[in-house]
Amino acid sequence: MNAPDPTPATLQQAALDYHQFPKPGKLGTAITKPVDSPDDLSLAYSPGVAEPVLEIRKDAEAAYRYTAKGNLVAVISNGTAVLGLGDCGALAGKPVMEGKAVLFKKFADIDVFDIEVDATAPGDFIDTVARIAPTFGGINLEDIAAPACFEIERALIERCDIPVFHDDQHGTAIVLCAGLLNALELQGKRLEDARIVCLGAGAAGIASMRLALDLGARRENLLLVDRKGVIHTAREDYAGLNAEKREFAAEPSERRTLAGALAGADVFIGLSGPDLVRDEWLMLMNERPLVFALSNPVPEILPEVALKVRSDLIMATGRSDYPNQVNNVLCFPFLFRGALDVRARVINRDMKIAAVRALAALAREAVPAEVLAAYRLKSLAFGPEYIIPKPLDPRLRSVVAPAVACAAVDSGVARLNLSEPVSTPTA
């Protein structure tokens, strides 16, 4: 007999105990060179440390040879949009940033410093991050509220010569679009023909729509919906909308509400909040629809509710207890691994598209026995309940990272070619 599911109170205490014992937090540092003798000490610090200092002073690229910069990512937040908890402040966001660091190390062997910046004004945050950027090989922005996150990322990409990536935007978009491509094919549809409705006009929603366009979706087939309904050019508040929302404003039509937008739609993408979609609205969608209800932990509509009214749909959520979990861990460790391996200056459009296509292709491959064992499954194959890989698939690193690295080289943003040696972990 299986043990009963833990109660919320039990889970809460287990989470607190996990973070507190046997020592607080989830991170530590490790020494990578011997420091066991007087000779070791003289090399690790004075006088030996002067030699790499002088080399780096002559050539900044030497920092990749003599320091940990090339395999070090900063996970940085101001705590203004922590998970689904809202503006918790910089310090309260630290457990999430530590958790992100653990995932980087576990899945891609990337070292991380988590940095919590007590600055809500975009200019202050940008200046702080730009000034510390030389320490790192890449910067992962996290849990920063929209619309400030767009300005922050854009400014830091311009000011830094290392990859700057806001995972809440692009990590979500990459995994979502990989699933979208596969699900559309299974439903006998094409992205360029699909009518797509996105509920949620924040960081993830905007980035996902931009990436869908890059992959071939048509702007006239996209409707973006926020709390006040469909975003269109005749809306009373149009002039006051941020530039990102206006970018996706539709021409005026009778489609003003979410229900109206869903009429005749092929795809619903939810990046908003719990229980915002009524089951009867799904009946308005085209045959063989896609429903990506990604609000977490409570989706816009639960799979069991959606499938009761539309047995012909393909469903994805952000939860691990349903099929087709859209989980950013499928992307960001391997995207950065590929970028770091060729010392990319940025993470560009080509690299994101390469990650999308690599993830989509991997879901079509036979699933290894170790993945089945990890998820206690007897079988798993490409189909309506398996449109994106599982997070514990060990092939992700060997598939996604090289695809991203190749795209960086081919698009001219890499400092190294793939044939050049890289002094970062490869095992």
CATH class of 49-162: alpha beta
Q: Kindly report which listed range (5-9, 334-338, 388-392) carries the lowest average pLDDT score.
A: 5-9
Q: Please indicate whether the domains covering 49-162 and 170-317 agree at the CATH topology level.
A: yes
User: What is the structure's pLDDT at 253?
Assistant: 84
DSSP 3-state of 267: strand
- Alpha-carbon distance values, 78 to 120, 167, 376 (Å): 6, 14, 38
Our CA dihedral for 318, 226, 314, 2, rounded to 10 degrees, sits at 30
Our CA dihedral for 204, 207, 213, 218, rounded to 10 degrees, sits at 50
Distance in angstroms (rounded) separating the CA atoms of residues 97 and 107: 16
Q: What is the mean pLDDT of residues 369-373?
A: 96
User: What is the structure's pLDDT at 421?
Assistant: 55
DSSP 3-state of 75: strand
User: What is the structure's pLDDT at 420?
Assistant: 63
> What phi and psi values does residue 345 have, to the nearest 5 degrees?
-85, -30
Between 11 and 199, the higher pLDDT residue:
199
Distance in angstroms (rounded) separating the CA atoms of residues 147 and 245: 9
Kindly tell me if the per-residue pLDDT of 173 is higher than 50.
yes
**Any bridge partners for residue 250, and if so which?**
232
Q: What is the pTM of this model?
A: 0.93
Q: Per residue in 236-289, pLDDT tens?
A: 999 999 999 999 999 988 889 999 999 999 999 999 999 999 999 999 999 999
Nearest of 232, 177, 178, 174 to residue 201 by alpha carbon: 232
Task: Please state the domain extents for the chain.
Answer: 49-162, 170-317, 328-410
User: What is the structure's pLDDT at 427?
Assistant: 39
Assess contact for 379 and 405: CB atoms under 8 A.
no
85 band by pLDDT with thresholds 50, 70 and 90 = confident
Q: Residue written as tokens 């689904």?
A: 84
User: What is the structure's pLDDT at 11?
Assistant: 84
Q: What is the mean pLDDT of residues 344-362?
A: 98
Cα–chain center distance at 59: 33
Q: Per residue in 95-146, pLDDT tens?
A: 999 999 999 999 999 999 999 999 999 999 999 999 999 999 999 999 999 9
Residues taking part in catalysis: 45, 100
Helix or strand (DSSP H, E) at 245? helix 243-247
User: What is the structure's pLDDT at 374?
Assistant: 94
State whether the Cα torsion 62-65-70-76 is positive or negative. Answer: negative
CATH class of 170-317: alpha beta
426 band by pLDDT with thresholds 50, 70 and 90 = very low
On the question of a cis peptide bond just before residue 297, with omega within 30 degrees of 0, the verdict is: yes
Kindly tell me if the per-residue pLDDT of 1 is higher than 60.
no
